[in-house]
Chain A
Amino acid sequence: MSFSHPMALWLGLVAIPVVILYLLPLRLDRQTVATGMFWEQALAAEAGRARWRRWRHKVSLAVQLVLIVAATLAAAGLQIPRPQLVVLVLDNSASMNAQDVPSTRLAAAKELAGRLTEGLHSDDRMAVLTTGGIPAVVSGPSGDAAALRAAIDSIRPTSEPSQMAGALHAAETIPLPSPGFLRRIVVLSDGCFADAAELAAKYGFEMIRFGTPVPNMAITRLTVRRTLAVPRVCEVLIETQNYSDRPADCRLVVARGAEPIDTINVSMPASGRWQQVFRMTTLAGGRLTARLEPSDAYPADNVATVDVPPLWMYHVALEPAPIQWVAADAPAMAGERPDNPLLRALCANPQVKVVDPLAPERPEDAGPSIVIRAFQGGVPEKLPRGPALVIGPSGCDLWHLGEAIADPTVARVAEDSPLLAGVWMLDVYLGGAVRLEMTEAATPRAIPFLWTADGTPLGYAIQRPEGRVVVLAGNLDEGNLAMQAALPIFVANALDWLAGQPVRGAEKPADCVGGISIDLRKAADLGVDWSEITIHRPWPPAWLWPAGLALAILVVEWCLYQRRWMT
Chain B
Amino acid sequence: MPLPVDLLTRLHYLALVSRRMGGSPLLAAPRKKLPGGGTELTGYRDYGPGDDWRQIHWTWCARRDELLVKLFEGDADRHVYLLLDASPSMGFGRPPKLELARRIAAALGYAALADLQRLGVAVFAHDLLADLPPLRQVARFGRLVDFLGGLRAAGSQTDLARSAAAFIRRFPQPGPTVVLSDLYDPGGFHRGLDLLRYAGYEPRLVHVVDYEDVRTGLLGDMELVDAELQVVREVTVTEQAARRYCSLVADFQLNVVRYCRRHGMVWMRFACDAAEDDVLPRVLGARRAPLAASPEPIPPTQSEGFGRNKKVNVTGVPR
Contact present for A35 and B225 (CB under 8 Å): no
Interface centre among A28, A29, A33, A563 (most CB of B within 10 A): A33
- Say yes or no: is B47 at the interface (Cβ < 8 Å to chain A): no
B193-204 contact mask (Cβ, 8 Å, vs A): 1 or 0: 000000000000
CA distance in complex: A28, B233 (Å): 11
Query: Known interface pairs A29-B222, A34-B228. Does A39 touch B182 (Cβ–Cβ under 8 Å)?
Result: no
A-side contacts of B222, CB under 8 Å: 28-31
Question: What distance in Å separates the Cβ of B245 from its nearest Cβ neighbour in chain A?
Answer: 4
Of the listed stretches A41-49, A124-132, A277-285, A343-351, chain B binds A41-49
Closest to B243 in A: A42
- Say yes or no: is A565 at the interface (Cβ < 8 Å to chain B): yes
- Say yes or no: is A10 at the interface (Cβ < 8 Å to chain B): no
A-side contacts of B158, CB under 8 Å: 35
Of the listed stretches B61-69, B168-176, B213-221, chain A binds B213-221
CA distance in complex: A37, B89 (Å): 11
Query: Known interface pairs A46-B241, A565-B238. Does A31 touch B213 (Cβ–Cβ under 8 Å)?
Result: no
Query: Known interface pairs A32-B225, A33-B224, A36-B226. Does A563 touch B245 (Cβ–Cβ under 8 Å)?
Result: no
Contact present for A32 and B244 (CB under 8 Å): no
CA distance in complex: A563, B89 (Å): 29
Contact present for A564 and B220 (CB under 8 Å): yes
Number of chain A residues whose Cβ lies closer than 8 Å to a Cβ of chain B: 24
Closest to A46 in B: B241
Question: What distance in Å separates the Cβ of B314 from its nearest Cβ neighbour in chain A?
Answer: 11
B-side contacts of A45, CB under 8 Å: 240-241, 244
Q: Which of B55-92 contact A (CB under 8 A)?
A: 88-89, 92
Q: Which of A182-207 contact B (CB under 8 A)?
A: none
Contact present for A42 and B234 (CB under 8 Å): no
User: Pick the contact of A31 from B223, B238, B241 — CB < 8 Å?
Assistant: B223
Contact present for A567 and B220 (CB under 8 Å): yes
Query: Known interface pairs A42-B242, A46-B238, A564-B237. Does A34 touch B248 (Cβ–Cβ under 8 Å)?
Result: no
Contact present for B245 and A564 (CB under 8 Å): no
Q: Which of A15-37 contact B (CB under 8 A)?
A: 26, 28-37
Query: Known interface pairs A39-B235, A41-B248, A564-B236. Does A34 touch B92 (Cβ–Cβ under 8 Å)?
Result: yes
Question: What distance in Å separates the Cβ of A557 from its nearest Cβ neighbour in chain B?
Answer: 14
Contact present for B241 and A34 (CB under 8 Å): no
Query: Known interface pairs A28-B221, A37-B186. Does A567 touch B227 (Cβ–Cβ under 8 Å)?
Result: no
Number of chain B residues whose Cβ lies closer than 8 Å to a Cβ of chain A: 40
B-side contacts of A563, CB under 8 Å: 238-239
- Say yes or no: is B252 at the interface (Cβ < 8 Å to chain A): yes
* Interface SS majority for chain A: mixed
Closest to B182 in A: A34
A548-567 contact mask (Cβ, 8 Å, vs B): 1 or 0: 00000000000000111101
Question: What distance in Å separates the Cβ of B90 from its nearest Cβ neighbour in chain A?
Answer: 8
A-side contacts of B252, CB under 8 Å: 38
Contact present for B234 and A28 (CB under 8 Å): yes
Contact present for B236 and A29 (CB under 8 Å): no
Contact present for A53 and B244 (CB under 8 Å): no
A-side contacts of B210, CB under 8 Å: 34
Contact present for A34 and B234 (CB under 8 Å): no
A-side contacts of B223, CB under 8 Å: 28-31
Question: What distance in Å separates the Cβ of A353 from its nearest Cβ neighbour in chain B?
Answer: 116
A-side contacts of B244, CB under 8 Å: 41-42, 45
Question: What distance in Å separates the Cβ of B145 from its nearest Cβ neighbour in chain A?
Answer: 26
CA distance in complex: A46, B241 (Å): 7
A-side contacts of B184, CB under 8 Å: 34-35, 37
- Say yes or no: is B231 at the interface (Cβ < 8 Å to chain A): yes
A-side contacts of B213, CB under 8 Å: 33-35
Q: Which of B247-276 contact A (CB under 8 A)?
A: 248-249, 252
B-side contacts of A42, CB under 8 Å: 241-242, 244-245, 248
B-side contacts of A565, CB under 8 Å: 238
- Say yes or no: is B232 at the interface (Cβ < 8 Å to chain A): yes
- Say yes or no: is B293 at the interface (Cβ < 8 Å to chain A): no
Contact present for B226 and A33 (CB under 8 Å): yes
Question: What distance in Å separates the Cβ of B125 from its nearest Cβ neighbour in chain A?
Answer: 12
Question: What distance in Å separates the Cβ of A210 from its nearest Cβ neighbour in chain B?
Answer: 67
3 shortest A-B CB distances, which residue pairs? A36-B226, A42-B245, A34-B89
- B interface residues (Cβ-Cβ under 8 A, vs A): 88-89, 92-93, 158, 182, 184, 186, 210, 213, 216, 218-229, 231-242, 244-245, 248-249, 252
16 further A-B pairs in the complex, CB-CB below 8 A; given A34-B92, A34-B228: A26-B221, A28-B221, A28-B222, A29-B222, A33-B218, A35-B89, A35-B213, A35-B226, A36-B233, A38-B248, A39-B235, A41-B244, A43-B241, A45-B244, A53-B236, A567-B220
Could you give 10 example pairs across A and B, Cβ below 8 Å? A28-B221, A28-B223, A29-B223, A34-B210, A39-B224, A39-B235, A39-B245, A46-B235, A563-B239, A564-B238
